[in-house]
């Protein structure tokens, strides 16, 4: 059993927020993130009194001032979160990282980064290949990696795609007519992975909104299938793990993003899939907090393509990390509070991660171990007689 780990990251004020003379209303103290209302901020810019709403998370990252030596960098985020994902994959566990927050709050920067400062997705991919290179030199170990990029297109189709389609056919047979786009590739180097990331991002639907000049209008799920086989004559093993790296489209209010027409419809549909995600997180959180209550007969994973794809990551067989990205500006108070409350619910979810070992290899290893024990007992018996 493992609870979903939650991190909150606060970005710097954007130029748009500075132009609006926005005040910083976020304060980070250790693991605690506190949100204040604008009226609680003194002329000096510091909070007056203790009137804010405080939330405690596994990690609270202050990236508001890049000139501050204590500013949390991409390196620090990878050190805290990415290394944990790599370790899980090496041991045969599934792992998931997903970024949630309003449009323009830093989700894509945290997950993808920039060409000069990589985010979690390229760093985790590179870390896997570093591990492969190191282990391969020792011999007796082989690795296979396959990349799958998924783009649920609910933002264009209304979020009500019939998920029974997904369960009748293998995922790689689905296409955009199903409200879904998928590509899969076997990879042998980080260079190949990085190229796929660039191509995948170019296929994501984007549009200009007041919140973000290049706003993602679709979710993106980057999945690494990682197989590790140990060639040991006595105790062979083979594990298969999945690593989901997810950049969700931005949650937003229509009036805040000043969208209209097609963009307004897209925003409504994005929010609909995120509402379904919120319902599932609330249901699972209630189930975990009230462990004595009877398990609900229905968790609505099938209500959207997004949540059906994430069903293992939430309440299932996975070690999961959620990164909530927020703006420090008072003009985004409502969206920031909503994100913090969403993250606060998510940390109560309990998953059930297990090592994904090939059952045939496991049986062979256990039988060999049992044969070894029986031989030892026979040897002891013959000596006694």
Closest C-alpha to 293, from 301, 285, 303: 285
**Per the annotation, does 102 bind a ligand?**
yes
Site of tokens 């993602």: 216
Q: For 328-342, how does the pLDDT look when each residue is reduced to its tens digit (9 = 90+)?
A: 999 999 999 999 999
Residue 68 pLDDT > 50: yes
Give me the mean pLDDT over the 107-121 stretch. Answer: 95
Q: What is the C-alpha to C-alpha distance for residues 333 and 337, in angstroms, rounded to an integer?
A: 6
Closest C-alpha to 194, from 106, 115, 248: 115
**Per the annotation, does 227 bind a ligand?**
no
**Per the annotation, does 105 bind a ligand?**
yes
Domain ranges of the chain: 2-157+171-354, 359-384
pLDDT at 158: 46
Q: Which residue has the higher pLDDT, 125 or 302?
A: 125
Residue 248 pLDDT > 60: yes
**Per the annotation, does 188 bind a ligand?**
no
What is 142-161 written as a DSSP string?
Answer: EEEEEEEEEEE-HHHHTS--
In the chain, beta strands by DSSP E: 2-3, 5-10, 26-29, 32-35, 53-56, 59-62, 95-101, 113-114, 117-118, 141-152, 180-186, 206-207, 215-216, 220-230, 237-247, 319-326, 350-351
pLDDT at 174: 41
pLDDT at 175: 40
**Per the annotation, does 159 bind a ligand?**
no
**Per the annotation, does 108 bind a ligand?**
yes
**Per the annotation, does 106 bind a ligand?**
yes
pLDDT at 280: 94
Computed over every residue of the chain, the mean pLDDT equals 82
pLDDT at 50: 64
pLDDT at 253: 57
State which fold the 2-157+171-354 domain adopts: Kinesin (3.40.850)
Residue 204 pLDDT > 80: no
Single pTM value for the model:
0.83
Of the chain, the end-to-end C-alpha distance in Å amounts to: 48
For 224, list phi and psi in degrees, rounded to 5.
-110, 120
Q: What is the C-alpha to C-alpha distance for residues 275 and 370, in angstroms, rounded to an integer?
A: 51
**Per the annotation, does 334 bind a ligand?**
no
Q: What is the C-alpha to C-alpha distance for residues 348 and 217, in angstroms, rounded to an integer?
A: 29
């Amino acid at each position: 059993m493992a609870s979903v780990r939650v991190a909150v990251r606060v970005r710097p004020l954007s130029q748009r927020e500075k132009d609006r003379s926005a005040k910083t209303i976020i304060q980070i103290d250790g693991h605690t993130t506190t949100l204040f209302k604008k009226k609680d901020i003194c002329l000096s810019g510091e909070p007056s009194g203790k009137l804010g709403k405080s939330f405690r998370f596994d990690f609270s990252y202050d990236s508001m001032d890049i000139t501050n030596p204590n500013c949390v960098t991409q390196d620090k985020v990878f050190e805290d979160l990415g290394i944990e994902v790599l370790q899980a994959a090496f041991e045969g566990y599934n792992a998931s990282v997903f970024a949630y927050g309003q449009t323009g709050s830093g989700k894509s920067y945290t997950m993808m980064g920039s060409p000069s400062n990589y985010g979690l997705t390229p760093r985790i991919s590179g870390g896997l290949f570093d591990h492969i290179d190191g282990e391969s030199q020792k011999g007796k170990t082989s690795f296979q990696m396959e990349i799958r990029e998924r783009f649920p297109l609910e933002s264009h189709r209304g979020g009500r795609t019939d998920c029974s389609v997904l369960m009748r056919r293998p995922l790689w047979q689905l296409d955009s007519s199903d409200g879904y786009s998928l590509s899969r590739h076997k990879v042998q180097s980080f260079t190949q992975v990085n190229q796929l990331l660039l191509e995948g991002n170019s296929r994501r639907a984007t549009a200009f909104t007041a919140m973000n000049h290049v706003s993602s209008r679709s979710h993106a799920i980057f999945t690494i299938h990682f197989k590790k086989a140990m060639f040991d004559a006595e105790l062979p093993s083979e594990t298969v793990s999945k690593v989901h790296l997810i950049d969700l489209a931005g949650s937003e209010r229509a009036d805040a993003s000043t969208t209209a027409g097609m963009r307004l419809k897209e925003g409504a549909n994005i929010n609909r899939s995120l509402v379904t995600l919120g319902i599932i997180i609330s249901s699972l959180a209630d189930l975990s907090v009230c462990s004595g209550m009877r398990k609900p007969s229905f968790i609505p994973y099938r209500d959207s393509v997004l949540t059906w794809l994430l069903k293992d990551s939430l309440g299932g067989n996975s070690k999961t990390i959620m990164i909530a990205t927020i703006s420090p500006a008072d003009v985004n108070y409502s969206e920031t509070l909503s994100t913090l409350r969403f993250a606060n619910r998510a940390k109560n979810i309990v998953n059930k991660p297990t090592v994904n070992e090939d059952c045939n290899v496991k049986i062979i290893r256990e039988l060999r171990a049992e044969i070894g024990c029986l031989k030892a007992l026979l040897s002891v018996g013959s000596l006694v007689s």
